[in-house]
Amino acid sequence: MSRISAIAALGQQIWLDNLSRQLIDSGELAHWIADDAIAGVTSNPAIFFNAIRNDPAYQTATAALKDSPLDAERRFEALALPDVRRACDLFLPQYERSEGRAGFVSFEVSPTLASDAAGTLAAARRLWAEIGRPNAMIKIPATAAGLEAIAGAIADGINVNVTLIFSPAQLADVQAAYRRGIEQRFSAGKPVDRIASVASVFISRLDSLLDPRLPAELQGKTAIAMARRAYADWQMLPPLPGSARQQMLLWASTSSKNPAYRDVVYVEQLIGDGTVNTVPDATLAAFRDHGEAAATLGLGPADTEAQLAGIAALGIELDSVGDELQAAGLRQFDEAFAKLLELVR
């Protein structure tokens, strides 16, 4: 058993935070699925920008689109969606064995729609239909408009990966939107047993922002404490109607940004049954080399509360910090998407 697959034995799914044509063509993704029990893939505009710019497998396809009448966004989708479908097909056996609990591939709606609820829902419906795979997930940001679209997408039976969650309040709003969608679908007499969703809580960016404001004894611990409290709260969520499943917690941005910290700290300290961690290549390689798998999410509840109390005592409100981080994340996604469209234009 590899160090990474040992995490799966503890009930947590590890998803790869990367997708490219070369990754599929080379057989590397299939290898990681077989040997490391990788259970899904996430993507975003920055990931596809790097893939299309650097992966030779895209060059011929990009050249073929040179005289296409498609606009830049549809050109990008013409490049990326075939790879999303192929990745979905690679994970389909895992999806079927797990009865729809694992084996998902995420693709994001345009970041330009972050304040447009109707446009986001329309895009989610279109992308879901165009990908045409039961184990696809459409990524929607946890903005005010996104929350409305999330409820509508879930009611439509679309799997949703809710991204850019940075605070307890944002997470609570996302969980409420998911519940509304499930309840609406159940009330309409439609099946809810295979609806899947993850709430992607961003981890390392919180510590990166807060650490300079904190005394040494509180540094590097806030994001883990927030995640551990979220996990405890998640375990106490009331049941959903019918046979609907709870939205899973997903830990995102789990590479260590501070070189003083252990490079796998946000993997090792956030392992818990029923959750997901989406991990970039470098962090995955580091864990494969020296990571230690143990059930850690439920550890140290007193330490968790002491850390969060220490933050509050300094006058720091995690919900306000989360709004700041979400705004910054939206700007970064907008910039990456603009660069991506210029690349394929």
Among residues 66, 139, 190, 221, which one is catalytic? 139
For tokens 């989406």, what's the residue?
278
What is the model's pTM?
Answer: 0.96
Question: What confidence tier does 85 reach under pLDDT thresholds 50, 70, 90?
Answer: very high
CA–CA separation, 11 and 13 (whole Å): 7
pLDDT for the residue 62:
81
Tokens of 295: 């059930």
CA–CA separation, 48 and 110 (whole Å): 13
Q: What is the domain-level CATH number for residue 160?
A: 3.20.20.70
What is the span of the domain harbouring residue 298?
5-344
Question: CA-CA distances (angstroms) from residue 336 to 111, 155, 196?
Answer: 9, 30, 27
Q: Domain total for the chain?
A: 1
Question: What confidence tier does 302 reach under pLDDT thresholds 50, 70, 90?
Answer: very high
Query: What angle (nearest 5°) sits at the alpha carbon of residue 158, between those of residues 152 and 162?
Result: 75
pLDDT for the residue 59:
80
pLDDT for the residue 328:
96
Residue 67 has pLDDT above 80, yes or no: no
Residue 66 has pLDDT above 80, yes or no: no
Whether residue 139 lies in the annotated active site: yes
Q: Specify the range with the lowest mean pLDDT, choosing from 18-32, 52-66, 154-168, 194-208.
A: 52-66
Question: What confidence tier does 265 reach under pLDDT thresholds 50, 70, 90?
Answer: very high
Q: How many alpha carbons lie under 13 Å from residue 329 in its C-beta half-sphere?
A: 26
pLDDT digits (tens, 9 = 90+) for 8-52: 999 999 999 999 999 999 999 999 999 999 999 999 999 999 999
